[in-house]
Amino acid sequence: MTDHVPAEPTGRIVLLTASHRVAPGLLSWPAWQTLRAADRVLCADPEHPQLPYLREAGVEVAQEVPDAQGLVEACAGGRTVVVIPGGEGDQRLTDGLARLAGSGRVAMPGLELLPGSYDLPGARLLDLVQVMDRVRRECPWTSRQTHEGLVKYAIEEAYELVEAIEDGDREELREELGDVLLQVVFHARIAEEHAEEPFSVDDVAGSLVEKLIHRHPHVFGDAEALTPEDVSAHWQRTKAVEKQRESVTDGIPLGQPGLALAAKLAGRARAGALAVELPRGEGIGYELLELAARAEEAGVDPEAALRAAARAYRDAIRAAEGVATP
């Protein structure tokens, strides 16, 4: 009878990854525990951003990563080897490990992928800012654009977003939101180059955060708002104090579509409890003004209502032509 000889422990390989969007050194507690307990920590990239922080924490890192066979042998006896990816040989190493495992001739160590840090919500916005910066510097067309020259694109993208919402097309909605976001990032990047009053996308976002917090004391403070009407009233009061406006009409862009402009004016007058009679006169303009005011009072967006009716009219025209509706 032959005595059973227990197999030698094969150890484990830990691939420690970290998001490039998170500051180096900000690793999870499990990652630090694994690094401190490992028998060896390997990294082939001498310029890896994590290295200074690991050394500062007392983690010894060898500046080499053996091939797949050597890595398996390094785990013999139950040892744990942590590999920090980042070198050019990462793909060759993982391919080599896969081949060894598939051969069935090698007792493979355990292979574990350990994320050392995770992207926070909004992390891809950092990528967007970096890409926009490079495109602004290197693209012949983009590098010449100005705020004024991009105005028409901002208007077009806003209308295309409205169309995607009204169509209920989720894929199109996501794309059009991206196009609108591009306009914001593009303008903010151009603004960085202003000689006297530069600002960045961080300044834009920072101002927006402050505004949202200040105008939502029922969320971030002690105020109460039980209904959407309460929120709207507080919002308008806060804006009036912030802007120090003399009139409820201040801040209404006169360049917006006519029906939307008329409804906005009527809404401001109603919110301010101003008993202002609609001007009377001859012509279709005054009739449209009255319709827009009626729509606003009834809680109907006159622009959206007209677009819906126009779409129905378009469909009727196409039906008369024998053309299918898209």
Model confidence over 275-307: pLDDT tens digits?
888 999 889 999 999 999 999 999 999 999 999
**Ranges for all domains in the chain classified under CATH 3.40.1010.10:** 12-115
| pLDDT tens-place string over residues 206-261 | 999 999 998 888 889 888 888 888 888 777 777 767 767 778 888 888 888 899 99
Scanning the chain, the segments in alpha helix (DSSP H) are 29-37, 51-56, 68-74, 90-103, 124-138, 147-167, 170-191, 201-214, 217-220, 228-243, 258-271, 284-297, 302-321
**Judging by beta carbons within 10 Å of its beta carbon (0-12, 13-18, 19+), is residue 67 exposed, middle or buried?**
middle
User: For 12-115, which CATH superfamily applies?
Assistant: Tetrapyrrole methylase, N-terminal domain (3.40.1010.10)
Q: How high is the pLDDT of residue 5?
A: 43
Q: How far apart are CA 57 and CA 60, in angstroms?
A: 9
Residue burial 34-57, b: 16+ Cβ < 10 Å; e: rest: bbeebeebbbbbeebebbeebeee
Mean pLDDT, residues 145-173 taken together? 93
d(CA 235, CA 169): 31
Q: Which pair of structure tokens corresponds to residue 37?
A: 């307990």
- Are the C-beta atoms of 168 and 175 separated by less than 8 Å? no
Tokens of 324: 């299918």
Write down the residue that tokens 């510097």 correspond to.
137
Residues of the chain with CATH 1.10.287.1080: 121-214
Residues with Cβ within 8 Å of residue 71, at least 6 apart in sequence: 13, 65, 81, 83, 93, 97
Is residue 102 classed exposed, middle or buried when 0-12, 13-18 and 19+ CB atoms within 10 A define those classes? exposed
pLDDT of residue 266: 92
pLDDT averaged over the chain? 89
Parallel, antiparallel, or unpaired for β 12-17 and 110-115? parallel
- pLDDT of the residue at 3: 53
Q: Encoding tokens for residue 137?
A: 């510097």
pLDDT tens-digit readout, 44-95 = 888 999 999 999 999 999 988 888 999 999 999 999 999 998 766 678 888 8
For residue 82, give the 3-state DSSP assignment.
strand
Q: What percent of the chain has pLDDT over 70?
A: 95
CA distances from 213 to 123, 216, 218, 315 (A): 21, 5, 9, 45
- CA distances from residue 88 to 61, 77, 94, 114, 161 in whole angstroms, order as listed: 18, 29, 12, 20, 42
Determine the CATH number of domain 121-214. 1.10.287.1080
Q: Residue 62 has what pLDDT?
A: 92
Whole-number pLDDT of residue 89: 62
